[in-house]
């Protein structure tokens, strides 16, 4: 699941980059810093990415997740550090939906 | 430009129904919603049954719009409820209900609409306040507080959404003969109308005229504003 999400987030980020909604300026890796110190994105860039990832999950996986609720924002380790951490957070949210 | 896609909340009756017909006749693809099914049907109109405060249902509606049309041009947050009662006689449950529909509902629709609209860097949002706010209407504390919140929400969202090409404005009608004021005694309404510069009740067409103005593509330089009818 996490691998699939990483791939999806990368695709979404590339699309946003092509549409000039965000500016990546470098090739993405799983551990590329996204937001925070040395991160690629400013706050509006992060907003755009999160919305696009939520929409992609809905379209491709037919599931609704919120990647910016209080839970996400209050994590000791921010899920927005890297594509890997965002994918992991999304995967956990999706799994807890299935279980819950 | 393709036919604009226009979402209007609270379309079962009253101003919402009028606006749905108004824009469907003018070539918009209109999507409407209300808690119950309307007793009318219309070409170029699709109805969704939902409560505007039900977040998952609202998200499903927007997901449907995205799949069906791929975009949203206009949002008119018309759905609203009132509670006309002295504050000493107003239960908290009533206050919560009024705030939920008027504030939470408006917020939710603005948020989801902006996500869709920003894709095309274009959007028009019209929220509903009321002359009851500037008139500081006694007996409507919950309603006035909720509409004040809508005004503030409109002003802040106008700032946040400006960079996406989305304008957010509000409109404050005077009393119009709808269910919202049905329970208010006639003399109370007359006293209210008497405080307007132009002393008559509002008409649906008065409301549509202002919404038309806000929705025009040429109104791209107008955002965060509120307009009251009747010279209030």
Q: What was the ipTM of the complex prediction?
A: 0.81
B143 given a catalytic annotation: yes
HSE toward the beta carbon, residue A87, CA cutoff 13 A = 20
Of B63, B118, B163, Cβ closest to residue A58? B63
Helix (H) or strand (E) holding A45: helix A43-61
Q: In this model, does residue B89 exceed pLDDT 70?
A: yes
Q: Chain B 69-98, CB below 8 Å of chain A: which residues?
A: none
Closest to B143 (Cα-Cα) out of B155, B153, B154, B132: B132
The CATH fold of domain A2-99: 1.10.1200
CA dist A68 and A73 (Å) reads: 6
| Number of structural domains in chain B | 1
Residues B7-61: pLDDT tens digits? Answer: 999 999 999 999 999 999 999 999 999 999 999 999 999 999 999 999 999 999 9
Chain A residue nearest residue B114, CA to CA: A51
A20 Cβ contact partners less than 8 Å away, ≥ 6 residues apart: none
Residues A54-81: pLDDT tens digits? Answer: 999 998 998 889 898 888 888 888 899 9
pLDDT score recorded for residue B73 = 98
- For residue B118, list chain A residues with Cβ-Cβ distance below 8 A: 48, 51
Asked if A32 reaches chain B (Cβ–Cβ under 8 Å), the answer is: no
pLDDT score recorded for residue B181 = 79
Asked if A91 reaches chain B (Cβ–Cβ under 8 Å), the answer is: no
pLDDT score recorded for residue B30 = 98
B24 to each of B30, B50, B169, how far by Cα in Å? 6, 21, 22
CA dist B155 and B149 (Å) reads: 10
Asked if B186 reaches chain A (Cβ–Cβ under 8 Å), the answer is: no
CA dist B24 and B31 (Å) reads: 9
Of B56, B63, B115, Cβ closest to residue A51? B115
pLDDT score recorded for residue A100 = 57
How far away is chain A from the Cα of B164, in angstroms, using its nearest Cα? 10
Chain A residue nearest residue B161, CA to CA: A44
> The sheet that has B123-128: what strands, in order across it?
B45-49, B29-34, B5-9, B74-77, B123-128, B166-172, B226-228
Domain that holds residue B178: 5-231
Task: Tell me if A58 and B56 make a contact (CB, 8 A cut-off).
Answer: no
CA dist B189 and B204 (Å) reads: 17
Task: Tell me if B118 and A48 make a contact (CB, 8 A cut-off).
Answer: yes
pLDDT score recorded for residue B113 = 98
pLDDT score recorded for residue A21 = 82
B150 to each of A67, B77, B98, B109, B135, how far by Cα in Å? 26, 10, 12, 12, 16
> What's the whole-model pTM score?
0.91
Chain B residue nearest residue A16, CA to CA: B119
Task: Tell me if B59 and A64 make a contact (CB, 8 A cut-off).
Answer: yes
Share of residues in chain B with pLDDT > 70 (%)? 100
Task: Tell me if A58 and B118 make a contact (CB, 8 A cut-off).
Answer: no
Per-residue H/E/C for chain B: CCCCEEEEECCCCHHHHHHHHHHHHCCCEEEEEECCCCCCCCCCEEEEECCCCCHHHHHHHHHHHHHHHCCCCEEEECCCCCCCECHHHCCHHHHHHHHHHHHHHHHHHHHHHHHHHHHHCCEEEEEECCCCCCCCCCCEHHHHHHHHHHHHHHHHHHHHHHHHCEEEEEEECCCECCHHHCCCCHHHHHHHHCCCCCCCCECHHHHHHHHHHHHCHHHHHCCCCEEEHHHC
pLDDT score recorded for residue A19 = 83
Which residue out of B69, B122, B143, B214 is catalytically annotated?
B143
pLDDT score recorded for residue B102 = 98
pLDDT score recorded for residue B1 = 57
CA dist B27 and B42 (Å) reads: 12
CA dist B194 and B200 (Å) reads: 8
Residues B126-181: pLDDT tens digits? Answer: 999 999 999 999 999 999 999 999 999 999 999 999 999 999 999 999 988 888 77
Q: In this model, does residue B195 exceed pLDDT 80?
A: yes
The one-character DSSP state at A75 is -
* Contact (Cβ atoms closer than 8 angstroms) between residue B71 and residue B5: yes
Q: In this model, does residue B98 exceed pLDDT 80?
A: yes
Domain residue ranges in chain A? 2-99
The ranges of chain A with pLDDT < 50 are: none
Asked if B159 reaches chain A (Cβ–Cβ under 8 Å), the answer is: no
Q: Which of A16, A51, A62, A63 to mutate to test the interface with B (most CBs of B within 10 A)?
A: A51
What is the phi/psi pair of residue B102, to 5°? Answer: -75, -40
Share of residues in chain B with pLDDT > 90 (%)? 90
Task: Tell me if B56 and A64 make a contact (CB, 8 A cut-off).
Answer: yes
């Amino acid at each position: 699941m996490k691998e699939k999400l990483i791939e999806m987030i990368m695709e979404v980020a590339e699309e946003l980059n092509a549409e000039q909604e965000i500016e990546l300026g470098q090739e993405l890796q799983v551990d590329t810093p996204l937001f925070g110190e040395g991160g690629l994105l400013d706050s509006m860039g992060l907003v755009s990415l999160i919305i696009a990832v939520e929409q992609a999950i809905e379209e491709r996986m037919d599931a609704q997740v919120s990647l910016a609720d209080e839970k996400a924002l209050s994590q000791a380790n921010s899920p927005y550090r890297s594509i890997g951490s965002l994918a992991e957070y999304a995967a956990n949210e999706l799994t807890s939906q299935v279980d819950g | 430009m393709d036919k604009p896609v226009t979402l209007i909340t609270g379309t079962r009756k009253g101003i919402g129904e009028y606006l749905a017909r108004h824009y469907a006749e003018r070539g918009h693809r209109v999507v409407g919603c209300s808690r119950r099914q309307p007793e009318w049907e219309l070409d170029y109109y699709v109805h969704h049954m939902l409560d505007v405060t039900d977040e998952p249902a609202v998200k499903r509606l927007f997901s449907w719009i995205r799949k069906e049309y791929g975009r949203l041009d206009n949002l008119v947050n018309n759905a609203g409820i009132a509670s006309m009662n002295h504050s000493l006689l107003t239960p908290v449950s009533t206050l919560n209900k009024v705030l939920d529909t008027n504030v939470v509902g408006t917020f939710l629709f603005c948020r989801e609409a902006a996500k869709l609209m920003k894709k095309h860097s274009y959007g028009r949002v019209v929220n509903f306040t009321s002359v009851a706010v500037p008139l500081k209407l006694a007996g409507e504390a919950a309603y006035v507080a909720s509409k004040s919140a809508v005004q503030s929400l409109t002003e802040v969202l106008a700032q946040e959404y400006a960079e996406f090409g989305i304008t957010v404005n509000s409109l404050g009608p005077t009393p119009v003969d709808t269910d919202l004021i049905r329970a208010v005694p006639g003399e109370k309404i007359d006293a209210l109308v008497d405080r307007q510069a132009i002393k008559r009740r509002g008409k649906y067409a008065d409301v549509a005229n202002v919404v038309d103005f806000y929705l025009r593509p040429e109104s791209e330089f107008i955002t965060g504003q509120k307009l009251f009818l009747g010279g209030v």
